[in-house]
Amino acid sequence: MLIDDLKRKPLSKDINHNITELKNILKDCTDVIFREIIMDGPIKPQRMMILYTDGLVDSKNINEAIIKPLNNYSPPNKKPRILKDYPIEDIKRIINVNEIEEIDNFGDILQQIFSGNTVLFLHGSKEALNLDTKGWASRSIQEPSVENVTRGPREGFTESIRENTAMIRRKIKDPALKIKEMNVGTRSNTFLFVIYMDDIVNQVLLTRVIKKLQEIQIDSVFSSGYIEEFLEKYTYSPFPQMQLTERPDKACANLMEGKIIILLDGVPQALILPINFFQLFQSPEDYDERVIFGNLTRLIRHIGFIIAISLPAIYVALISFHHEMVPVRMIVDLAQNRVKVPFPPVIEALLMELTIELLREASGRLPSTIGQTIGIVGAIVTGEAAIRANMASPTMVIVVAITAIASYVLPHYSTTFPIRLLRFPMIIMASLFGAFGITITWTWIIIHMCGLDSFGYPYLSPLAPLDSDLLNDAAIRRPLWKLWKRPKTARKNNVRWKKEK
């Protein structure tokens, strides 16, 4: 039976009935502990039962704050005669837990004990008490592993969702910062927080996102990728329509642009939406470094994007079609290198690219220390051996190496996938039609990107549709004191601060 169904099942007044029912549901769930407490009642000893999941609770807290006060309770002299048992209100006074809530159905009980709370059953009450005793071992806050920066805060999100919201709250001390709780996955029952700035976010967007989140039909959610696919419109597009970040400062900066952050329990990354294409090239560092260098690095990332997609294709086109474009001083060396290789340039390029992709996958799977070694050794040894064995020309190896380096310029790892993917059709088209093939493929890519939108916001904005206000902070950024307007993702006519004229 699903928890959602059990939510419709109320508790009975009889504690024994409730316990049997629960024991039945939780049969063989050895991690769930039932502990009986007998306390001195008004007339006779009062029977109670607490229920919690071992490992998710702070057992010291349970002992100190729940069991000890109940056991040691000595009833006051003036005994109420009418009551056989203490009512729930009295019990609440005895227990020293910071958060107490009454719940009245089996579904909620299960949900609470699985999220680390303790549930206390009283005899004769239709309600049970939900006591906050969460306390499981979690990773301490660490430096983000992928989005490193040299300057700026070094904390990253952790698996514990509460700590994550705390990190955001610490940065934005504003009541307009709303953290809306939701629940996804019929079986995993994962917590999900929708975080937004109430007076900046576009309300239409917000309701749409919440509606979409509610409509998600899935049994379990273990990572943000699960809900990403349900939320986005163009699942088959290689380009991500949401951004992932493990940096609270980045998440907060996006909140201030009217974007929505989705945090998922147990996932140390936050989802940012809506986004545009140029955002994928931005890193918090850009705003920390001096304006000129911040812009320079952004420019380099854009160039890297173009190089990573088209360089092998350009090489193939030059070698098989437009040799007259190669400077004469180079052409003899190129030809000498090529003459020993038995494959046509396409096959050579595809083989080498495939090798690089294999290496990348392999080094990612291995433990990080070995992974790096494998990566470097693999690249050097394979490259060297391929040249020695006349399987590839040295130029090809250089081209592939530059391409591989260039494809990592994007600040977030998962956004490098479109680059790696698009390279292959580009190579094939270049081998068929030379430079014209590259033109055609770029046309396809650009038109595809023009047709994309992220939650209603054009993907290539602010370039297309052109928006001079927004170009302030896209491929290049202007000084921060000029960025007083918020992007169009925010509510209309929303400014960061009033500009003094």
List residues near other proteins by CB under 8 A.
Answer: 202, 204-205, 208, 319-329, 331-332, 334-336, 338-341, 344-345, 428, 431-436, 438-440, 442-444, 446-447, 450-451, 453, 455-458, 460-461, 463-466, 488
Residue 155: both structure tokens together: 């904390």
Q: Cβ closer to other proteins: 281 or 455?
A: 455
Residue 163: both structure tokens together: 């700590």
Q: Which residues of 339-363 are buried (b: 16+ CB within 10 A; e: fewer)?
A: eebebebbebbbbbbebbeebbeeb
Closest separation in Å from C-beta 321 to other proteins: 6
Q: Cβ closer to other proteins: 156 or 434?
A: 434
Chain CA centroid to CA 95, Å: 38
Q: Is the separation of the CB atoms in 255 and 195 below 8 Å? A: yes
- Report the alpha-carbon distance of residue 57 to residue 80 in Å, rounded: 35
Closest separation in Å from C-beta 330 to other proteins: 10
Give ∠ CA 144-419-447 in degrees, rounded to 5.
125
**Helices 291-320 & 345-365, crossing angle to 10 degrees?**
140
Q: Cβ closer to other proteins: 332 or 381?
A: 332
Q: Cβ closer to other proteins: 88 or 440?
A: 440
Q: Cβ closer to other proteins: 244 or 449?
A: 449
Closest separation in Å from C-beta 314 to other proteins: 10
- Report the alpha-carbon distance of residue 343 to residue 347 in Å, rounded: 6
Q: Which residues of 254-273 are buried (b: 16+ CB within 10 A; e: fewer)?
A: bbbbbbbbbbbbebbbbbbb
Q: Which residues contact residue 474 at a Cβ distance below 8 angstroms, ignoring those fewer than 6 apart? A: 276, 278, 462, 463
CA distances from 356 to 218, 346, 359, 381 (A): 36, 15, 5, 12
Q: Is the separation of the CB atoms in 365 and 371 below 8 Å? A: yes
Closest separation in Å from C-beta 373 to other proteins: 34
Residue 213, by phi and psi: left (phi above 0), alpha (psi -120 to 50) or beta? Answer: alpha
Q: Cβ closer to other proteins: 78 or 329?
A: 329
Q: Cβ closer to other proteins: 230 or 442?
A: 442
Q: Cβ closer to other proteins: 230 or 433?
A: 433
Closest separation in Å from C-beta 437 to other proteins: 8
Please give the radius of gyration of the chain, using alpha carbons only, rounded to the nearest integer.
30
Closest separation in Å from C-beta 455 to other proteins: 7
Closest separation in Å from C-beta 439 to other proteins: 5
Closest separation in Å from C-beta 447 to other proteins: 5
Closest separation in Å from C-beta 224 to other proteins: 22
Q: Is the separation of the CB atoms in 182 and 472 below 8 Å? A: no
Q: Cβ closer to other proteins: 76 or 327?
A: 327
Q: Cβ closer to other proteins: 61 or 241?
A: 241
Closest separation in Å from C-beta 311 to other proteins: 14
- The helix or strand, by DSSP H or E, that contains position 244, with its residue range, turns out to be strand 243-245
